[in-house]
Structure 1
Amino acid sequence: MNDGLNRPKGFGEILDAAFSLCKQYFSKFFLIVLVIIGPLYLLQSMILLLTGTSFFREAASGDNWLNQTLNSFEATANTTLAEDLANIGVGLLSFIFIPIAQAAILLAVQRLKNQDEFNVGSVIKQAFSKFWLILGGSIIFEIILFAMIFIPTIVITIIGIMSIVADPLSGIIGMVILMLGVGLTAAYFLTRWSFYLGTAVFENNIPGLARSWHLTRHNSWKVFGIYIVFFLIFLAVSLAIESIFIALLGNSVLYSIIVNLVTLLTTMIFMVGYAIIYFDLKIRQGGDDLKEMIDDYQNADIEK
C-alpha cells in the first residue's frame, strides 16, 4: 500500500506523496500534532480569554462594519501586552514541542514505509523517549540559524545605513544585493543541515549536521525548492482563512482558535512532507554509498 515510500521520487512525486499520505492517515497524523502542540495553543487562548478578549467577536473601533474590519487588520499588528506574553510563551514552548511532534511523524512514516500500521500513542511515547537528544540537536540548530541570519542582518543594516547616507541609490541597491546573498547562503546551509532530527531519532546521535549534509548531497536545491512550494501553499491558505475570519470575528479568541487549527493542519502536512523527503534522501544516498563501495572495490582490483 505504501510501496512508493521505498523508491526514489521526483519533485512532484514528493509533494503528491505528502498530500496523499496526509489524506489517507489524516486522523492519526492530525491527532499527533494536536496532542503534542495543541495544548500550547489552548494555553494561548485561555490567556487571551482571562485578560478580557471576547470569545466570539472582538470588534475593533469604527463607525460601521467595514471600518471595524479594516481596523481589525491593523490591530493584528498592534498587539496588546497579554497577546505579546501569550505569543512569547507559546513560541518558547513550541521550540521544545514542535521537534517532538516532527519526531513522532518521522517514526509513524517509518512504520508505513516498512508496511506496518502505527499507533498514535506509541509513536508519541517513542518520540518523547528521545526528548533530550531532540532538544539538544534543536538548540544547536537554532543557534546556528540565529547566527547565520541575525548577525549578518545587523552588519548589513549598519553598512547599508552608512552607504545610504553617502549615496542613497547605491546604498539601497547594495543593501538589497547583500541581503539576497546572505539569505540564499543561509537557505543553502540550513537546508543542508535541516535533517539533523533524523539522526537524533534513528541514530541516537547529535547534532547530526554532518549526517544531514551527507544526506542532502546532490539534492540540496531540490529540497529547498520543495520547502518553498510548501511555504507558498501554506501562506496562501493561511492568508485566505485569516482574512475571512478576521472580518467575521475580529481579533477574538474564537478567531485565534481557528487560525491555530489551520496552523496545526499546515504544520502536519509539512511534517509529513519532511519525513517523506528524509526517507527519500536516505534511499538515494544509500544507493550512492553502495555504488561508491562497488567502484572502490573494482578500482582496487584493477590496481592489483
Structure 2
Amino acid sequence: MNELNRPKGFGQILDVTFRLSRTRFKDFFLILLILLGPVYLIQALVQLATGTSFFREVGEGNGWFEQMVAGLEESDPAFSSNIAADIGVMLVGLISLFLYPVAQAAILYGVDHVRKNEEFTFGTLIKKGFSRFWAIIGSSILYGIIVTGLFFGTIMSIVLMSFVLFAIDPVIGVIVTIILSIGAILFVGYFSTRWSFYFGSVVIDRNSPGLGRSWKLSQGRTWASMGLYIIFFLIISSITFAIELSFALLLGGSVLLGLIVSLATIFTTLIMSVGYAVMYLDLKSRHDADDLKDLIDDYHVGQ
C-alpha cells in the first residue's frame, strides 16, 4: 500500500515530506518557478529602476561591516521614502497573494497523484491548480477574515482585562496578562489549525469553503498538526535566515541578494506546500478509514 494512503505518526509525516520534496523536486520546483519566478523578477526590476545596485549595495561608514549594515538599512523598504519602490513592492505582494495559492494547489494535486500512483507533469498540475482559482481565493479570503477577527478580538479582550487588573494590582495584572497571552496564543492557534485544512478540502474534495470539512478532519489531531506547523515554520525560517545572512555579508542589500533570497523562498515554499499536502492526505486517510469502519459496522448491525 502507498504510505500516503495510511495514517502516519508525527515523525513519519516529516520523513515522507522531505522524501517527496527530494524525489519530486524538479516538478514541484518548476511549478513554483513558473508561477512565482516572474513575480520575483518584476520585484528585482523595480529595485533596479529605483536605484538599488545589482551586485552590491553598501552605505556610508568607516569599516566594511558598518557599510554593509548601512547598505541593508538603506535598501530596506522601512528606511526608504521612494514612492515608486513602495508601490512596486505592494504590487508584487498583491500578485503573489493570487499566484501562491495556485502553486500550492498544483503541488497538492501532485502529491495526491503520487498517492494514487498516477503519472503527471508540472504543466497539467498548473492547469488543475488554476481550475479551482476562484474557489481557492474566495475560501482563503473567508478564512483570513475569520482568523484575523479571532486574533484581534482575542487581543482586545486581553488588553481590556489587563487594563482593569493593572488598575487593581500591578503585580497581579502582570501575572494574569502573561497567562492570558499564552492562553490566547493557544486559543487562536487551535482554531486556526482546526480550520486550516479548508484549502485541501477546496482543492482535493472540491468542497467550498471547506471550513466544516477541515473541522471534521482535524478532530483528534489538532495539537499534532499545530506541532507540525511549528516544526515546518522553524525549519524554513532557519534556512531563509541562514541564506539571507550569509549572502548579505557579501552582497549587502543588492538586487542579487534579493534574487537569491527569492530562490530560497521558492525552495522553502516547496517544503511547506508538500508538508501541508502530506498532512492533509494523512487526515483524509484517517477520516475516510473511520467512515469505512462505520459503514462496515452499520452493515453488520443491519444483518
TM-score computed with the length of structure 1 as normaliser: 0.90
> Within 1, Cα distance between the matches of 2:223 and 2:110?
26
Out of 133, 138, 160, the residue aligned to residue 140 of structure 2 is 138
Which residue is equivalent to 1:278?
Answer: 280
Which residue is equivalent to 1:116?
Answer: 118
Residue 44 in structure 1 maps to residue 46 in structure 2: no
> Within 1, Cα distance between the matches of 2:167 and 2:258?
43
Which residue is equivalent to 1:182?
Answer: 184
Residue pair 1:193, 1:212 contacting (<8 A) in 2 also: yes
Which residue is equivalent to 1:224?
Answer: 226
What is the CA-CA distance between 1:218 and the residue it aligns to?
A: 1.2
Which residue is equivalent to 2:54?
Answer: 55
Which residue is equivalent to 2:8?
Answer: 9
User: Aligned AA for 1:189?
Assistant: F
User: Aligned AA for 1:61?
Assistant: E
Residue pair 2:106, 2:126 contacting (<8 A) in 1 also: yes
> Within 2, Cα distance between the matches of 1:225 and 1:59?
40
Residue pair 1:9, 1:280 contacting (<8 A) in 2 also: yes
Residue pair 1:156, 1:175 contacting (<8 A) in 2 also: yes
> Within 1, Cα distance between the matches of 2:193 and 2:258?
31
> Within 2, Cα distance between the matches of 1:141 and 1:78?
29
1:253-304: CA deviation from partner (whole Å, max 9, x where unpaired): 1111111111111011110011111111111111111222333444566xxx
What is the CA-CA distance between 1:72 and the residue it aligns to?
A: 4.7
1:44-87: CA deviation from partner (whole Å, max 9, x where unpaired): 22111111111111113211112223445655483314454344
User: Aligned AA for 2:117?
Assistant: Q
Residue pair 2:8, 2:282 contacting (<8 A) in 1 also: yes
Residue pair 1:72, 1:246 contacting (<8 A) in 2 also: no
Residue pair 2:4, 2:281 contacting (<8 A) in 1 also: yes
Stretch of structure 1 that moved more, 174-183 or 152-161: 152-161
> Within 1, Cα distance between the matches of 2:190 and 2:169?
31
Which residue is equivalent to 1:95?
Answer: 97
> Within 1, Cα distance between the matches of 2:185 and 2:135?
29
User: Aligned AA for 1:172?
Assistant: V
| Identical residues among aligned pairs (%) | 45
TM-score computed with the length of structure 2 as normaliser: 0.91
Unaligned ranges ≥5, structure 2 = none
Matches within 5 A, 1:1-304: 3-72=2-71, 76=76, 78-82=78-82, 84-157=86-159, 159-160=161-162, 163-164=165-166, 167-299=169-301
> Within 1, Cα distance between the matches of 2:72 and 2:194?
37
Cα separation, partners in 2 of 1:205 and 1:3, compared to 1, 3 Å = closer
Residue pair 1:61, 1:67 contacting (<8 A) in 2 also: yes
> Within 1, Cα distance between the matches of 2:180 and 2:161?
10
Number of residues of Structure 1 aligned to a counterpart in Structure 2 = 300
Residue pair 1:72, 1:247 contacting (<8 A) in 2 also: no
> Within 2, Cα distance between the matches of 1:87 and 1:167?
46
What is the CA-CA distance between 1:170 and the residue it aligns to?
A: 3.5
RMSD between aligned residues: 2.2
> Within 1, Cα distance between the matches of 2:119 and 2:25?
14
Stretch of structure 1 that moved more, 86-95 or 132-141: 86-95
Cα separation, partners in 2 of 1:165 and 1:52, compared to 1, 3 Å = farther
Residue pair 2:165, 2:173 contacting (<8 A) in 1 also: yes
Where do 4+ consecutive residues of structure 1 move more than 6 Å? none
